[in-house]
Amino acid sequence: MTDNNHYIAILAEGSAVPTLLCGHCQSILSRARIFRNQGGAHQAIACNTIGLCSADDCGALNCCDEALGQIENPERLFDIAS
C-alpha cells in the first residue's frame, strides 16, 4: 500500500549514529532515499528535506526537517544511518 499523506520523520533516541525513522511505520529511512525538496525532485509539501519510506507495505513520504533539526552537531548529518 502506498500512502498519499505525508508524515513527520522521527529521530531515533539512543542511537550512536543519527537514525531517522518513518513517522508512519517507524521503519528506518535509508540515507539513499532522503533528499532535498527542490528542483526536479520537488514535492508539493512545505518541507526542505524529505524521506521516502522503503518498507514494502508503507511507502510514506516523510518530512525530515524537524528530526534533522534535533541533531546537535551539523557534521553528524553526514553520518545518518542507511
Report yes or no on 16 lying in a domain. Answer: yes
Q: Which domain holds residue 36?
A: 6-79
**The predicted structure's pLDDT at residue 26:** 96
Report yes or no on 1 lying in a domain. Answer: no
- Mean pLDDT for the stretch of residues 20-49: 87
- Mean pLDDT for the stretch of residues 38-43: 70
pLDDT digits (tens, 9 = 90+) for 45-56: 889 999 999 998
Number of domains in the chain: 1
Report yes or no on 18 lying in a domain. Answer: yes
36 in Cβ contact with 15 (< 8 Å): no
Residue given cell 540515507 in the structure block: 31
Report yes or no on 13 lying in a domain. Answer: yes
pLDDT band at 3 (very low <50, low <70, confident <90, very high): very low
Report yes or no on 35 lying in a domain. Answer: yes
Q: Is the pLDDT of residue 66 over 70?
A: yes
Report yes or no on 51 lying in a domain. Answer: yes
Kindly report whether the global pTM for this prediction surpasses the value 0.85: no
Report yes or no on 22 lying in a domain. Answer: yes
